[in-house]
Structure 1
Amino acid sequence: MDIKDFREQLRTQRWDDHRFYHHSRINQSLHFVSAASFLISYVMMFFDPVVAALIGWLVSMTSRQAGHFFFEPKGYDHVNDATHEHKEEIKVGYNLQRKVVLMAIWALSPAVLYVDPTMFGLFTPWASPADFMRQVAKIWLAIGIGGLLFRTVHLFFIRDIETGLVWMTKILTDPFHDLKLYHKAPLFLLKGELIDPGLEKHVRHA
């Protein structure tokens, strides 16, 4: 695998993600919150993976996906001259439809554990609310890791191995990149700027 080509693909995937799916300053601001909390979650993985999973899903993922679902424009993208449907079709990672499935699995998993406290024999039945939340967090950790690996391997087959590995690298390093890219978004939002005006200039000169 050529390192130069790998880095160029990574740059391309990051740029496509930004220009196609991060027009809204609200979305960018929520990604800033998500990135900061994901970094906290990364640190907590070394001390308490269960707490890391709770932060990652309850703060990082919910803020991140809320930005995409509720605030990012879904109409025709004049900046990139593309329909929303076209962008969803060519999305390398999880498009909105796939995210709905992933988030549904996440949201429904506590109900499954509540109905079956052993989670199909995987757990000792929880005896307190604290036990329940820690077991839920373990399930969420597995869903997060499983979702990452599933799409990576899926890309091995529908694209190629390098594309899958590049995408996995992008996802794992997104918190660092997003923190740098969107740290000024909350300030612009406070000034009343709802859509990133610089995106069109960057697209035209890319």
Structure 2
Amino acid sequence: MIQFFETLKKQRWDDHRYYHHSRINQSLHLVSALSFLTAYFLLFTDPIAASLLAWLVAMTTRQSGHFFFEPKGYDEVNKATHEYKEEIKVGYNLNRKIVLLAIWAAIPVLVYFNPVFLQKFVALNTFTNTEGFIRQTGLLWLWLGVGGVLFRTFHLFFIHDVEAAFAWMTKILTDPFHDAKIYATSPLYLLRGQLIDPMEHIEYDEENLSSIKPS
């Protein structure tokens, strides 16, 4: 268990130092985290509403921060190129996210134009109004979220190992709690005009070519 938590800690640290330099991105992650936490509570009372909140608010704010605001040039803090960071990313890099988001965007189109096709594979009821369409879409988005996490976890079994896979799944499920904590002050820095986190809490080890967090 000690090794598992060390792996989880490293994945969290690498995710922060490599992919969250923009204060706008950090602030959007705070909004995303709070939205996800609300969605977690909604899962117990209205799972479809939780899915709609998670995808339409939490995921859109989270991913727009990565796609539109996070720097993609050479990372001076970590001495790494954007291409290198994308290659070593344990979870969904930008290319994988594009595929996932394309499926997400296609689902309501399929529900609207070809519900009979989906009924052959998913237990969907025929909807007769806008509310029914929205709820059917939300249900499929819910399964997409579950499937997206399980698919990447299963994939990591083979390209990494079981420990790394379960650590990543744990990280994804608990990220809202972690992000709400570490990015709580990001909007304040943004209001002061600081667009990029100087990452002063990171020390670069020239000899080992890695970033280390001071103890």
The TM-score normalised by the length of structure 1 is 0.96
Cα distance in 2 for partners of 1:11, 1:200 equals 19
What letter corresponds to residue 162 of structure 1 in structure 2? E
In the alignment, is residue 71 of structure 1 matched against residue 72 of structure 2? no
The size of the alignment, in residue pairs, is 203
Cα distance in 1 for partners of 2:28, 2:201 equals 23
* Unaligned residue ranges in structure 2 (runs of 5+): 205-211
CA contact 1:24–1:72 (8 Å) conserved in 2: yes
* Unaligned residue ranges in structure 1 (runs of 5+): none
What letter corresponds to residue 184 of structure 1 in structure 2? T
Give the equivalent residue in structure 2 for 1:137: 138
Runs of 4+ in 1 over 6 A off after TM superposition: none
CA contact 1:19–1:203 (8 Å) conserved in 2: no
SS in 2 for 1:127: coil
Which of 15, 19, 23 is the equivalent residue of 2:17? 19
SS in 2 for 1:52: helix
What letter corresponds to residue 169 of structure 2 in structure 1? M
Give the equivalent residue in structure 2 for 1:40: 38
Moved more, 109-118 or 26-35: 109-118
Give the equivalent residue in structure 2 for 1:105: 103
Q: 1:203 Cα shift?
A: 3.6
CA contact 1:51–1:137 (8 Å) conserved in 2: yes
**Post-superposition CA distance 1:134-155 (Å, at most 9, x none):** 0000000000000000000000
Cα distance in 2 for partners of 1:22, 1:120 equals 40
CA contact 2:21–2:197 (8 Å) conserved in 1: yes
Q: 1:95 Cα shift?
A: 0.3
CA contact 1:31–1:63 (8 Å) conserved in 2: yes
**Post-superposition CA distance 1:29-62 (Å, at most 9, x none):** 0000000000000000000000000000000000
Cα distance in 1 for partners of 2:114, 2:94 equals 30
Q: 1:200 Cα shift?
A: 4.2
Percent of paired sites with the same residue: 60
Give the structure with the larger helix fraction: 1
CA contact 1:34–1:64 (8 Å) conserved in 2: yes
Cα distance in 2 for partners of 1:64, 1:29 equals 9
Cα distance in 1 for partners of 2:106, 2:69 equals 24
Moved more, 22-31 or 116-125: 116-125
Q: 1:125 Cα shift?
A: 1.6
The TM-score normalised by the length of structure 2 is 0.92
Cα distance in 2 for partners of 1:88, 1:164 equals 18
Cα distance in 2 for partners of 1:76, 1:200 equals 17
Cα distance in 2 for partners of 1:176, 1:131 equals 32
RMSD: 0.9
Cα distance in 2 for partners of 1:35, 1:155 equals 24
